[in-house]
Amino acid sequence: MTSKDRILARIRRAVQQPAAQTGPGPDADIPRDYLRVHATRTPQERVDLLAAHLAEYRARVHRTDEDGLRDLLGRLLADAATVQLPPDLGFGLPSDPSLTFVTDHAAQTPRDLDRVDAVVTGCALAIAETGTIVLDGGPSQGRRRITLVPDHHICLVRVPGQVVDSVPEALPLLDPGRPLTWISGPSATSDIELERVEGVHGPRTLDVVLVAAPDPRPDPDPRPGTQ
């Protein structure tokens, strides 16, 4: 008997065991007594934590309000000639005659996208504790591939309204039927000598713009005296 035969025999025996011996089935209740959030934060502290973690992942973080957004985007796009846009960004863009804006459409090929210098999108939400931006293919984000092929991704986050503390808080707000993309910093990998290489399977440069806007949601755990 070969090693392969022994492994397959063990798998067959395990599969044939009664359910009572193999543990809970897929529908069994799973205890979820873990912490949903690891601290009590004000909205501003939540945004500051997101910014710190994004910076740790080598994303470039910028802060502005809607009045200053056009000028900031103009500076971030200074080296770009073509800019990809989702169907409805929801923010104003600089009117620069040197920029060619490309709208998102299904007929674009990967080669077409590779000729785009930068893409500007919104997001579904952002997670402070992990420094993660989540895209769900909504009108402000477009198809998933427009944020994976161009070398420069500029992502706009409305703060504090689009920022949550943790992954457990984020999941109920997301539709699992949508194409979710979770981004923590620019695309990167390391070789066997731990040499970091960026832009391997996604944008080499990630700019996250935290755009200050009124928060329509009440803070779930406000500290006394901070309201």
d(CA 91, CA 78): 18
Lowest mean pLDDT among 46-55, 73-82, 101-110, 123-132: 101-110
Q: What local confidence, expressed as pLDDT, does residue 86 receive?
A: 94
Joined tokens for residue 57: 């992942």
Confidence of residue 1 (pLDDT cuts 50, 70, 90): confident
Q: Would you say how long the chain is, in residues?
A: 227
The domain spans of the chain are 39-212
Q: What local confidence, expressed as pLDDT, does residue 223 receive?
A: 40
Q: What local confidence, expressed as pLDDT, does residue 199 receive?
A: 57
39-212 placed in CATH 1.10.3720.10: no
Q: What local confidence, expressed as pLDDT, does residue 203 receive?
A: 87
Q: What local confidence, expressed as pLDDT, does residue 10 receive?
A: 87
d(CA 181, CA 1): 46
Mean pLDDT, residues 131-158: 94
> Which range among 7-21, 109-123, 201-215 has the greatest average pLDDT?
109-123
Report pTM. Answer: 0.78
Confidence of residue 19 (pLDDT cuts 50, 70, 90): low
Q: What local confidence, expressed as pLDDT, does residue 227 receive?
A: 34
With beta carbons less than 8 A apart as the criterion, state whether 99 and 81 touch. yes
Cβ neighbours of 59 (radius 10 Å): 22
Q: 76-114: per-residue pLDDT in tens? A: 999 999 999 999 998 888 888 889 999 888 889 989 999
Q: Taking CA 188 as the corner, what is the angle to CA 187 and CA 191, rounded to the nearest 5 degrees?
A: 155
| 153 pLDDT more than 70 | yes
With beta carbons less than 8 A apart as the criterion, state whether 65 and 212 touch. yes
| 23 pLDDT more than 70 | no
| 198 pLDDT more than 90 | no
Percent of the chain with pLDDT over 70: 83
- Cβ neighbours of residue 26 under 8 Å, at least 6 residues apart? none
Confidence of residue 224 (pLDDT cuts 50, 70, 90): very low
Of the two residues 19 and 107, the one the predictor is more confident about is 107
CA distances in angstroms from 82 to 85, 101, 116, 146, 176, listed in the order given: 10, 6, 5, 13, 32
Mean pLDDT of the chain: 86
Joined tokens for residue 160: 């504090």
Q: What local confidence, expressed as pLDDT, does residue 190 receive?
A: 65
Q: How many helices (H) and strands (E) does the chain have?
A: 6, 12
